[in-house]
Amino acid sequence: MSERDSNENIRSPALPPLEAWKRPDKWINVRTGKAKPFRSKFVLPTDDRGFLNPDQVVDYVDDMLFWKDYDWPFSRNDPQTAPDDHHFYHTEADYSLSRNNGNPIPSLFRELPTVVGRMPRQFHNAIHDFTAKPEMPDMDAMEEYYNSYHLAHQAFKNLIVSATMTTQASRMFTEHQLAVSNRDDVLLIDADDIVAQEMMKDFFSKHFAEYSRSVDLVMSLPQRSLIVPDSEKLHQYKPHVVIKKVGKYMLQKSINYTPILRAA
């Protein structure tokens, strides 16, 4: 049944149309498009710390309710479909200062980019309509996660700086080598050229050593506190590639799920 039917004027746009659902009659009122009341909500799995895995939440909801080839529409000018942010830990009031004896950790934890997902609004609504509100993790666990995130974030900032300087040093050293090798008197390098060459070597070695230490620090952090996927492979990439990979995630304020919810 198409969205364009005799009920078009009364069907709610909050959830996706009938063709998106595997079993629309099980989950929604097919006439109104609204979630059926008085149904059990999915309890989302958590790890040993009581934390959700946002990727698993999105995969779970998508697999349980919707066809994989459904191409979630969105228009930035349409509030019903425009992507927005879903806080995987809700509600905001539960994590507020007033509900936690003035402790800011719950609110700070809830706003971390690693536990906020950007997605089409209709999918966002489906998570709220069909999954149970997650239990708040233990205060100590949230504080440890928050501190680990900022340790990782600082390590990534250091990594970007050192990778940038290493790339610059490498380029300067290479350009100097080319300039020397292209001279007519290449076999008679004067003292000034030798000094300059040694300075370039020292400049590169200093920044490459700092870059290597930054990579080692990132790789030593607990894997589940990291922002960048496959961070254990950073040593395999050239510094400019590391900058691109790390910078991409550092600039995000949430995990962007919109692309993976578009049909391949």
Residues 167 and 238 reside in one and the same domain: yes
Rounded Cα gap, residues 229 and 224, in angstroms: 10
Residues 156-183 pLDDT 10s: 777 777 777 777 766 665 665 555 555 4
Q: What are the structure tokens assigned to 140, written together?
A: 């100590």
Residues 99-124 pLDDT 10s: 999 999 999 999 998 899 999 999 99
Residues 125 and 93 reside in one and the same domain: yes
- Burial grade of 161 (CB within 10 A; 0-12, 13-18, 19 or more): middle
Residues 36 and 92 reside in one and the same domain: yes
pLDDT of residue 252 exceeding 90: no
Residues 45 and 114 reside in one and the same domain: yes
Angle of CA points 53, 66, 133, to nearest 5°: 40
- What is the pLDDT at residue 188? 40
Q: Where among 137, 160, 185 does a domain terminate?
A: 137
Of 227, 231, 236, give the one whose Cα is nearest residue 219.
231
| Interval 35-53 mean pLDDT | 90
pLDDT of residue 231 exceeding 80: no
How far is the CA of 258 from the CAs of 71, 84, 95, 251, in angstroms? 10, 9, 26, 17
**For the chain, how many structural domains are there in total?**
2
Residues 128 and 148 reside in one and the same domain: no
The SS3 call for residue 200 is helix
Residues 182-207 pLDDT 10s: 544 444 444 455 555 565 566 666 66
Q: Which amino acid is at 228?
A: V
Residues 130 and 187 reside in one and the same domain: no
Q: Which amino acid is at 262?
A: R
pTM comes to: 0.73
Q: Which amino acid is at 146?
A: Y
- Of residues 253 and 110, more confidently modeled: 110
Domain with 244, as residue range(s), is: 141-251
Q: Which amino acid is at 237?
A: Y
pLDDT of residue 14 exceeding 90: yes
Would you tell me the crossing angle of helices 139-181 and 191-220 to the nearest 10 degrees? 160
- Strand partners of residue 35: 28
Rounded Cα gap, residues 255 and 238, in angstroms: 25
Rounded Cα gap, residues 46 and 24, in angstroms: 27
Q: What is the rounded radius of gyration, in angstroms, for the C-alpha atoms of the chain?
A: 26
Q: 């779970």: which residue's tokens?
A: 60
- Burial grade of 240 (CB within 10 A; 0-12, 13-18, 19 or more): middle
